Amino acid sequence: MSISWKGVFPAFTTKFTASDTLDLALFEKGLQSQLDAGVDGIVLGGSLGEASTLTTEEKETLVKLAIDIAGRVPVVLNIAEGATREAIKQAALAKSWGVKGLMLLPPMRYKTDVRETYTFFKTVAGSTDLPIMIYNNPVDYKTEVTLDIFEQLLECDNIQAVKESTRDVSNVTRMINRFGDRYKILCGVDTLAMEELLMGADGWVGGLVTAFPRETVAVYRLVKAGLLEEARVIYRWFLPLLELDIHPKLVQYIKLAEAQVGLGSEYVRAPRLTLVGEERERILSIIQEGIANRPELPEFKLTRLIS
């Protein structure tokens, strides 16, 4: 199996009702907006998707619904488990549900050393034929997947890509210098997306794309087409919103943005709580200012880039 690991892959949120059940109608509406904007893949069950609070049955429901809606657009499931055997179990379930690929985090709750990190990834990859994108986020999850570890993992043919979230733009160049195009690189930090795309990243696993899909896809396509001034205009407008992605409350912040544009609701699952008071007003003002000044997209150029 293989995935074309390039383009825009939304880290999609999980929609809940006021009674803390899955809001499947809102999930479908939000997902359809991503597809209409021209995204290239969908990632479910990430941090933004509140996966740690979801049951296996809920994950299955969301995956199967997303596959039905997405058609040819690949659905990727994130795996973030504490035990290797549980990660293997999740990979097998994902395959049975019909996903096209996996995004795989290092073991959670324990900071593995180099040998343990390599062994974990090799073991999970060896248990499945699904294509895998490693999520490298040492800032939030403490374990860094170093270049030397990626060197060892070259033997795993189905480890094909990396969600680059080290927050070091130079790491894109380091990866390309060492491995060429063996690993596809997708930026995983919204505030560095254009910079990493310019340095050769193949794609963007986005957060704010769930509220602003057309703008996110526009930045990606314009950069890849070399239309940099047009991309800069959108990206400069976008940056205050993109900064909502690099906060511990990114789920609440991005869900508030989704609610404001009619693509989601503010409901989150405990222990997260919806925003209140001054914090909500502050984040809301950023979102509303962005909406009020939303740029006009160069539709004729974007249409040409699609064809």
163 a catalytic residue: yes
Buried b (16+ CB within 10 A) or exposed e, 55-66: eeebbebbbebb
Angle at CA of residue 188, ends 154 and 77, nearest 5°: 70
Over residues 39-89, the pLDDT tens digits come to 999 999 999 999 999 999 999 999 999 999 999 999 999 999 999 999 999
Strand 7-10 relative to strand 42-44, pairing: unpaired
Range of the domain at 171: 7-302
Cα torsion for 13, 165, 158, 63, to the nearest 10°? Answer: 0
SS3 assignment, position 286:
helix
In a domain, 65, yes or no: yes
Active-site option among 135, 183, 220, 253:
135
Question: By the 8 A CB rule, do 163 and 150 touch?
Answer: no
In a domain, 22, yes or no: yes
Q: Which two tokens stand for residue 154?
A: 């070259």
- pLDDT over threshold 80, residue 173: yes
Over residues 174-199, the pLDDT tens digits come to 999 999 999 999 999 999 999 999 99
Active-site option among 59, 163, 184, 255:
163
In a domain, 125, yes or no: yes
According to the model, what pLDDT value does residue 304 have? 62
User: What is the mean predicted confidence (pLDDT) over 198-204?
Assistant: 98
Domain CATH number, residue 141: 3.20.20.70
How far apart CA 95 and CA 129 sit, in angstroms, is 9
Domain count for the chain, please give it.
1
Instruction: Kindly report the number of other CB atoms within 10 A of residue 4's CB atom.
Output: 14
- What band does 108 get if pLDDT is binned at 50, 70 and 90? confident
SS3 assignment, position 111:
coil
According to the model, what pLDDT value does residue 302 have? 64
In a domain, 1, yes or no: no
135 a catalytic residue: yes
